[in-house]
Structure 1
Amino acid sequence: MNLDTNPYDGIRIEVLEGWEAVRKRPGMYIGSTGERGLHHTVFEVADRAVNEVLAGRAGRVDITLLPDGGVRVADDGPGEADPEALLTRMDSAAGPRGRHSVAPHGADVGPFVVNALSSRMTAEVRRGGVRREQEYARGAALTPLTDTGPATGSGTVITFWPDAGIFETTRFSFDALADRFRELALLNRDLDVSLTDERHPDGVRSVRFRFPGGGAREFVALLDGDGEGDGEGEGEHAAPAVTDTVGFEAEDPRMAGTLEVALRWRDGGEERVRGFANSHPTTGGSHETGLREGVAAALDAYARRRLLPAPPVGGPVGAGLTAVVSVKLDDPEFEGSTRSVLGNAAVRGCVAEAVREHLGAWLEEHPEQAAAVVGRARPGGA
């Protein structure tokens, strides 16, 4: 390179900080400026409130889509102690969260980024008998945090309006948001979350997600379209199940966390496996690999004990399988900027071992269903 002719030098380097950096390159923080990134803003704000519930500091979370295009996220926790820091400092959401918190969707930046990408945001805090409010525009405070009078109860309300100059669309999909909050409620039995849509002149649409007996078992049922939920299961036209649901939970100090697995086989159809790490949806990783290895090992061992033709090593674990594997770790390690692949190496062996033991025991207790499952896992199986 000829340094004499290179037009770029230190003088031309532009250093952006805070909300300016977020508005300049929003995709680095929320993935895209399309519908996916738009919904990401709701999750960034809602995850803070959800974690208040999971920590036992709040009872419920309410998300409302407003007629003017805004979104209101409210919780009944103790009230955010320092809302201004939460909404104006990128590092305020960082730090360890642990297995009892929802893992962030992307960079751990929280509501600060949403504030920067909103044309307007308001924060209302009820704490210690006092109500305090503050208003922002595109990340900058328009007013100081002001006491506005006495308050009954406690809680935090954050309302924001996405900036039409940033996003390709500012219209939220009720169904897309509902899918995610349904997931969270199924994966966290203590969670009580409602989603309300006030945008339609024909009337308000509202759904409440709470599954006190839920977990992975009910998640599998909903995926196959025979769970209760809110009538919007993903597998409404799925083939009928040919096995019972096998489900279990366990804590394993080797991976510093807990695991929950549920699975069953349907009468045909493709394998359907859903993975989650600290309630964050994944597209692969050590927990999903462990699940498949554990299922394959259990089927192979059972077939050999019963002198049945064993499934091929490394082959599919069975057509028609529906499964959910959820791990909650003290220190989850994700690969890539999208955080969609779990990297914790110890999880793979822990999940595989637990699945092999529990599924193996179930196969021994249900020989007729077991023979059908083993047959499906062989080449040319039903």
Structure 2
Amino acid sequence: MSQEPVKYDARHIQMLEGWEAIRKRPGMYIGSTGERGLHNLVFEVAGRAVNEVLADRASSVEITLMPDGGVRVADDGPGVHFEDGGDAVGPGLEALLTRMFLGVIPVSRCYPVFSDCGVGLFVANALSSRMVAEVQREGVRWVQEYARGVAVSEPVNAGPAAGSGTTITFWPDADIFTTTQCSFDALAERFMELAFLNRNLDVSLTDERHPSEPRSLRFQAPGGVRDMVALLDEPSAEILHPDIIGLEREDPRMAGTMEVALRWRRSGQQLVRSFANSRPTPGGGTHTAGFHDGVQAAINAYARERRLLTATDPDLGTDRIGEGLTAVVSVKLEYPEFEGSTRGVLGNAAVRACVEQAVLEHLARWLQEHPQQAAAVIDGIIQGARGD
């Protein structure tokens, strides 16, 4: 049986643009159509409001899970202009809701990489059955409604404003998602994490879906990553030393800042959490490598200076030093470089030496200034090493 050759040319190419492309392949934009993708939708919308606080244009963010399945995200900033050019920075709200701005909107290392995808309000709008944008600005309340990414009306003057701010309320599309019920606990964990990593952030999360059992949490962490270490250590009463050792430093060599906190427990596995631009890096990277290098150098130098190690003793290894160690390593970079498609490993080469130097200098100084606590740390490490 003869077969004719299959012809393929430009006529076979299907062009999808805008909201149609997003709704056709939602997983490309938010990772999945399950619960993880649903939460990414919340994070995309909340990210804009969070950045308003971090830029000192607002003081707080409120996220509410509503009884009808909607999610409301509100900030108390000056209110974003609907039209382009209304504000000094970035496009207007209507443009953000209807156009893709990947890599176009100016960002700063101060702003977190909030969701897994970083695709903005347009994607959230396209994947919502309904979205209502409300702006209170200069005494006027403006409202605009969308359906599956398409504007239902022009922005409407809805009367006088009671204050100022921007509120986005959206209803995830049940035709897209396998579930439209967000996990309060999963959202709370990420918002709490962001508060630890951005100490001037004030975020509240409220669940109104069950009127008889409403839940509300507020996240603020003036102690930064030190507070995160304290929380991670909370289940254990076996703290080796009371001080949480912490440092903050800016280093132009890596075009960014670092914040590190650490403390040893009497025993247990090493627990090191790492972040780049507020994004979790479960695979570590150059920032965690630099951290371990610095800790190892400081501990070995102190132990040899105090003759707690003999000339024939080998250096204490990172595995031994890390037993019982709780630490958080956070860097914020102008140009973060992630390895792999999941972006879970930081690859900026300059970061390793910068973090190593900062940790070495700060930990060495802490050991010198706190001899009793230093003795407890070093003795515990050496005894454990000799007992292996």
Same fold (TM over 0.5): yes
- Bigger shift: 180-189 or 104-113? 104-113
Distance in 2, matches of 1:76 and 1:145, equals 20
Deviations 1:151-202 (A, max 9, x none): 1321100011111111121111111111111111111121111100001132
Distance in 1, matches of 2:170 and 2:37, equals 15
The corresponding residue for 1:242 is: 240
Aligned-pair identity (%): 62
CA contact (8 A) 2:288 2:329 kept: yes
Distance 1:35 1:372, change over 3 A: farther
The corresponding residue for 1:338 is: 342
Matches within 5 A, 1:1-382: 5-81=5-81, 82-91=92-101, 94-211=104-221, 213-225=222-234, 237-238=235-236, 240-243=238-241, 244-283=243-282, 284-307=284-307, 308=309, 309-313=313-317, 315=319, 317-365=321-369, 366=371, 367-375=374-382, 378=385, 380=387
Distance in 2, matches of 1:139 and 1:34, equals 20
**Structure 2 residues without counterparts, runs of 5 or longer:** 82-91
The residue matched to 2:177 in structure 1 has which SS?
Answer: coil
TM-score by length of 2: 0.89
Instruction: Output the amino acid matched with 2:179.
Output: T
Deviations 1:236-280 (A, max 9, x none): x33521123211111111111111100011122211111111212
The corresponding residue for 1:231 is: none
How far does residue 377 in structure 1 lie from its aligned partner after superposition?
6.8
The residue matched to 1:378 in structure 2 has which SS?
Answer: helix
Distance in 2, matches of 1:263 and 1:376, equals 20
Deviations 1:275-297 (A, max 9, x none): 11121211222111211121122
Distance in 2, matches of 1:313 and 1:320, equals 14
Distance in 2, matches of 1:171 and 1:360, equals 49
Instruction: Output the amino acid matched with 1:354.
Output: A
**Structure 1 residues without counterparts, runs of 5 or longer:** 226-236
CA contact (8 A) 1:310 1:378 kept: no
Instruction: Output the amino acid matched with 2:58.
Output: A
CA contact (8 A) 2:31 2:117 kept: no
The residue matched to 1:176 in structure 2 has which SS?
Answer: helix
The residue matched to 2:101 in structure 1 has which SS?
Answer: helix
Instruction: Output the amino acid matched with 1:192.
Output: D
Deviations 1:286-341 (A, max 9, x none): 11121112112222222332331444556454211110011112222223333322
Distance in 2, matches of 1:205 and 1:261, equals 32
CA contact (8 A) 1:363 1:370 kept: no
Distance in 1, matches of 2:259 and 2:248, equals 4
The residue matched to 1:90 in structure 2 has which SS?
Answer: coil
Distance in 1, matches of 2:112 and 2:140, equals 29
Distance in 1, matches of 2:194 and 2:129, equals 28
Distance in 2, matches of 1:317 and 1:94, equals 44
The residue matched to 1:80 in structure 2 has which SS?
Answer: coil
Instruction: Output the amino acid matched with 2:342.
Output: T
The residue matched to 1:14 in structure 2 has which SS?
Answer: coil
Instruction: State which structure, 1 or 2, has the greater radius of gyration over its C-alpha atoms.
Output: 2
The corresponding residue for 2:86 is: none
- Bigger shift: 286-295 or 360-369? 360-369
How far does residue 65 in structure 1 lie from its aligned partner after superposition?
0.4
Count of paired positions:
367
